[in-house]
Amino acid sequence: MMRLAGLACYPVKSLGGVIADTVTLTSLGLDGDRRWAVIGADGTVLTQRQFARMAAIRALPGAGGSLRLHARTGIIDIAPPVGEHGRAEAIVWGTRVDTALAAPEASAFLSGLLDTEARLVRLDREDARRCGTAPSGSTEYTSLADSLPVLVTTTGSLAALGSLLAQAGLDAVPMDRFRANLIVEHDTPWAEHGWRGLRIGAAELRLAHPCERCQVPTIDQHTGEVDPRSAAARGLLRVLAGAAGIGRKMVFGVNAVPVASTCPATLHVGERVTVTG
C-alpha cells in the first residue's frame, strides 16, 4: 500500500521549511506554503540559486498570518503586511505577481543576512498568479512557487538515486535537498512520472510534469553551504542528469495541482495514497 511518508511546508520561498504531521491542502497548495518571498531591487524573487545561505534561515508561520524568521544572527517577528507598507511586483520566472510589502524592518533583517538589497513580500490574493499548465477551459492558480503549487516525490526514486550515487563513489543525499511538499512511500523508482493523479483522503491532485532541477540539491538545507566547484557537487548533478531516464534532463519529483473542488482537505502522514490516473 502506498502511503504519505512526509509533509513539508516552506512559508517563504527558498528559506528553510517546516516538517509537519498534519496540514491543510488548499487550491494554492499546502496552507501557507510559499506565500512569502524575498525580492531584490528590481523585484526579481531571490532564491538559493543565487544565495545558498537562504536555506539556513528558518521561516515559521505564526498566528494571524504573522511570520518568524530564525537566523544565526537573531530572530525577528513579522506582522502580516498592511496597506501602509505598500505593494510590489514579485517577478517569478518572468511572471509579474502583485504582492504586499512587509514592514521595513523585515527588509533590513534580510538585506543584512544576504548582503544585498532585499524586501519581504506576501501573496495576499488567491487569483494573483495563474498556472501555466491548466487544462483547456479551466482556471488554476498557484503560489510564489517556481512552477505549480505542490511538489510530490517518492522514497523509491530517492533510493534509486542513492544507489547511482554510491556507484559513482558519492554519498547519498537526503530528501530535504529536493524541497518536496508531499513525500510518498513507494518502492518503484520514477513511477511517479507516469501518474496522472493522486487521491489522499478526501483530496485529489492533478500531476502535471516532472520537476526539472538546478543546483539547489547540492546545497545543505541546514547550513546553507555548498561549493559548486567541488567534485561532490559536480558529481551529484552529473548523476542526477538522466537518472530518471528522461534524456539528459535533471529531474526529480513531479509538479502537481490540487483539484479545487476537493479543497480544503486535511492531509495526515501515514494515510493511504491512491493513483487515480
Question: Mind giving me the DSSP string for 180-199?
Answer: -SEEEE-SSTTGGGG--EEE
Enter the C-alpha cell of residue 207: 500531476
**Residue 81 and residue 12 share a domain:** no
CA gyration radius for the chain? 18
Same domain, 154 and 51: no
Residue 11 has what pLDDT? 97
What is the reported pLDDT for 134?
A: 65
Position 136 scores a pLDDT of 61
Q: Please give the tally of structural domains in the chain.
A: 2
Please tell me whether residues 15 and 76 are part of one structural domain. no
β-bridge pairing 265-268 and 150-154: unpaired
Q: Which residue, among 58, 70, 109, 54, has the nearest Cα to 226 in the 3D structure?
A: 54
Q: What pLDDT, on the 0 to 100 scale, is given for residue 10?
A: 98
Phi, psi (5° rounding) for residue 161? -65, -40
127 domain-assigned: no
Pairing of strands 182-185, 150-154: parallel
| Residue-by-residue DSSP string for 32-78 | TTT-EEEE-TTSBBP-TTT-GGGGGSEEEE-GGG-EEEEETTEEEEE
- The verdict on residue 10 lying in a domain is yes
User: Are residue 78 and residue 42 in the same domain, yes or no?
Assistant: yes
* Cα 196 from Cα 276, distance rounded (Å): 7
Residues 24 and 42 grouped into a single domain: no
Domain ranges, residue 80 = 35-122
Based on the fold, state whether residues 42 and 167 are members of the same structural domain: no
Q: Is residue 211 part of a domain?
A: yes
State residue 63's pLDDT score: 87
Query: Any bridge partners for residue 2, and if so which?
Result: none
Distance CA 157, CA 160 (A): 5
For 165, the enclosing helix (H) or strand (E) is helix 155-167
Are both 268 and 224 inside the same structural domain? yes
CB atoms within 10 A of CB 42: 8
Give domain status of residue 215, yes or no. Answer: yes
* Residue 137 confidence (pLDDT): 63
CA distances from 66 to 60, 61, 77, 126, 147 (A): 9, 6, 7, 18, 25
pLDDT in tens, the chain (277 residues): 899 999 999 999 999 999 999 999 999 999 999 999 999 999 999 999 999 999 999 999 988 889 999 999 899 999 999 888 899 999 999 999 999 999 999 999 999 999 999 999 999 999 899 987 666 666 899 999 998 999 999 999 999 999 999 999 999 999 999 999 999 999 999 999 999 999 999 999 999 999 999 999 999 999 999 877 788 898 999 999 999 989 889 999 999 999 999 999 999 999 999 999 7
Rounded CA gap, 231 and 174, in Å?
18
Cross-strand pairs, 97: 90
Q: What cell was used for 201?
A: 483522503
Do 14 and 57 share a domain, yes or no?
no
If asked whether residues 24 and 43 sit together in one domain, one would say: no
Residue in 109, 15, 120 with CA at minimum distance from that of residue 59: 15
Last residue of a domain, one of 122, 148, 171: 122
Q: Domain boundary residue among 96, 122, 148?
A: 122
Q: Is the peptide bond before 228 cis (omega within 30 degrees of 0)?
A: no
